[in-house]
C-alpha cells in the first residue's frame, strides 16, 4: 500500500506543473535592491518591477486551452509570479499571451483583484493601466539620487503598449530579460522618467515583448 501511494504522488507531480515568471538579468533572476552590472563597470539596481500579462492560450497537437486571466507580476512577492498552476504542460507545445491589457479592461473603470488601483498600476480612466513599471537607480545617471522611473502603458493608438507573444514550451520558467532591454533599447542617461503614454513607452514595451523565453 505504501508503494502504491508513493507512485501516485510522484506521477501527479510529474504531470501537473506550474509556470513561474522571472525577471532576469541575463541568466540571473533579478532581486529587488541588488546591483547588477552594466557595461564598463556601471551598475543598475531595481526598487520596483511590476508587469501585467493576460489572456493565456495553450496549444498542442490535440489540445487547446484559453484562459481569460489577468496576472499582476510583482517582483517583490514570489507568490504573485505563479502564472499557470497545476497544469498538465505535457499536453501543450506553445504558450500565447498578451503583454499588457486590452482596451476593454483599460476602459472598464475601477476593478478588483490584480486590477485594483490600490496596486499602484492604474493612472486614470482616460489613460488606463501601467503595463510595465520599472524604478531604481543606476551609476549612469548623473543626478544626485541616480534614480530612474518608468511607468509604461497606454491602450490608445498610436501609443498602445499591448502586444501578443507566442513561445514554445521548453521548460517551466517564463523569463523576461531586462539586461537585453536596457542594453539595446533604453538610453537611461538621456531619459530618466516616463510617466505617461508616449512613443518611447510603446517602443520599450514592444521591445520587451520580444525578450520573453521559457526555460
Query: What's residue 126's pLDDT?
Result: 82
The total of other beta-carbon atoms located within 10 Å of residue 112's CB is 8
Q: pLDDT of 199-210, one tens digit each?
A: 999 999 999 999
Report the mean per-residue pLDDT for the chain: 90
Percentage of residues of the chain with pLDDT beyond 70: 93
Q: Where is pLDDT greater, at 55 or 10?
A: 55
How would you classify the pairing of strands 28-29 and 94-99?
A: unpaired
Q: pLDDT of 82-128, one tens digit each?
A: 998 877 878 899 999 999 999 999 988 778 999 999 999 999 878 89
Q: pLDDT of 144-160, one tens digit each?
A: 999 999 999 999 999 99
Q: Where is pLDDT greater, at 131 or 187?
A: 131
Structural domain for 105, as ranges? 2-214
User: Rounded to two decimals, what is the model's pTM?
Assistant: 0.90
Question: Cis omega before residue 140 (within 30°)?
Answer: no
Residue 14 has pLDDT above 70, yes or no: no
Q: pLDDT of 36-64, one tens digit each?
A: 999 888 999 999 999 999 999 999 887 88
The string over 129-142, giving b where at least 16 C-beta atoms fall within 10 Å of a residue's C-beta and e elsewhere, is bbbbbbbbbbebbe
The residues with which 151 forms a beta bridge, in sequence order, are 133
Domain count, the chain: 1
Cα separation of 159 and 204, whole Å? 11
Amino acid at each position: 500500500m505504501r508503494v502504491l501511494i508513493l507512485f501516485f504522488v510522484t506521477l501527479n507531480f510529474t504531470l501537473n506543473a506550474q509556470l513561474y515568471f522571472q525577471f532576469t538579468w541575463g541568466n540571473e533572476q533579478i532581486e529587488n535592491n541588488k546591483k547588477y552590472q552594466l557595461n564598463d563597470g556601471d551598475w543598475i539596481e531595481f526598487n520596483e518591477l511590476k508587469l501585467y500579462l493576460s489572456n493565456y492560450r495553450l496549444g498542442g497537437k490535440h489540445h487547446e486551452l484559453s484562459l481569460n486571466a489577468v496576472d499582476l507580476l510583482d517582483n517583490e512577492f514570489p507568490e504573485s509570479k505563479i502564472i499557470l498552476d497545476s497544469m498538465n504542460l505535457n499536453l501543450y507545445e506553445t504558450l500565447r499571451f498578451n503583454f499588457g491589457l486590452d482596451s476593454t479592461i483599460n476602459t472598464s473603470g475601477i476593478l478588483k483583484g490584480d486590477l485594483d488601483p490600490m496596486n499602484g498600476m492604474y493612472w486614470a480612466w482616460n489613460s488606463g493601466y501601467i503595463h510595465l513599471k520599472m524604478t531604481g537607480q543606476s551609476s549612469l545617471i548623473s543626478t544626485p539620487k541616480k534614480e530612474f522611473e518608468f511607468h509604461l502603458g497606454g491602450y490608445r493608438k498610436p501609443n498602445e503598449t499591448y502586444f501578443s507573444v507566442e513561445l514554445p514550451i521548453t521548460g517551466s520558467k517564463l523569463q523576461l530579460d531586462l539586461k537585453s532591454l536596457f542594453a539595446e533599447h533604453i538610453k537611461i542617461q538621456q531619459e530618466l522618467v516616463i510617466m505617461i503614454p508616449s512613443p518611447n513607452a510603446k517602443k520599450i514595451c514592444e521591445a520587451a515583448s520580444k525578450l520573453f523565453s521559457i526555460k
